[in-house]
Structure 1
Amino acid sequence: MAFSVQVENIKCGGCANTIRKRVTEIDGVNGAEVVVEQGLVNVEADEALRPAVVAALAKAGYPEAGSVQGMASIKAKATSFVSCAIGRMDD
């Protein structure tokens, strides 16, 4: 089983590395593919894990598209810059 999540703030391979790491740390997730250009995270897991995946992505600064506005959006962007930098170091 698999599902996709459209997210905000993906800018590069560093972001993708962080996203893959965070998502695959969730029990029951078998893999994750990130399509940077489309802002898409394809997750190999049961659909029942979608809320946990969406929460992990939001915590890392990559909220589901359209789910945050205003100050929450600004906070998510700032968090994603840090996550991106960490993802680049893990490269």
Structure 2
Amino acid sequence: MNVFIEVENIKCGGCVNSIKSNLLKIDQVDDVEISIEENTIFVTGLVQKSAILSKLNELGYPEKGTNSVLKKAKSYVNCAIGKLNE
């Protein structure tokens, strides 16, 4: 099952790095493609959309239309972590 999600809070390469590295840790995720410009994520693999959404929410990158101040704050922290690991 491939999963396509429009998300909030993707700002830069640090965000992309953090999202990709965390999603690839989920069992049966084969590949992750992220568009900063479109705020979209495309996941290839035999994984449920709910598992992807759960991890994205945890990281501060919720599905489009479900953002909050707390999720924005989490995204800044994970963005910084992603920048450190580039």
* Deviation at residue 44 of structure 1 after TM alignment: 0.4
Instruction: Say which structure is richer in strand.
Output: 2
Q: Which runs of 5+ in 1 are unaligned?
A: none
The answer to whether structure 1 residue 43 and structure 2 residue 38 are counterparts is: no
In terms of fraction of residues, the more helix-rich structure is 1
1:26-50 Cα distance to aligned partner (Å, 9 max, x none): 001001011011000110023x511
For the residue of structure 2 that corresponds to 1:38, the secondary structure is: coil
Aligned to 1:84: 79
TM-score (norm 2): 0.94
2:23 — aligned with what? 23
Letter matched to residue 2 of structure 1: N
The one-character-per-residue Cα deviations of 1:52-90 (angstroms, maximum 9, x if unpaired) are 00000010000011124xxxx000000000000000001
* Counterpart AA for 2:74: T
State the number of aligned residues.
86
Tell me the distance in 2 between the aligned counterparts of 1:30 and 1:49: 13
For structure 2, which runs of at least 5 residues remain unmatched after alignment? none
Does 2:54 correspond to 1:55? yes
TM-score calculated relative to the size of structure 1: 0.89
The answer as to 2:60 corresponding to 1:65 is: no
Q: Take 2:85 and 2:48, find their aligned partners in 1: how far apart are those partners?
A: 26
* 1:36 partner letter: I
Match of 1:74 among 63, 69, 78: 69
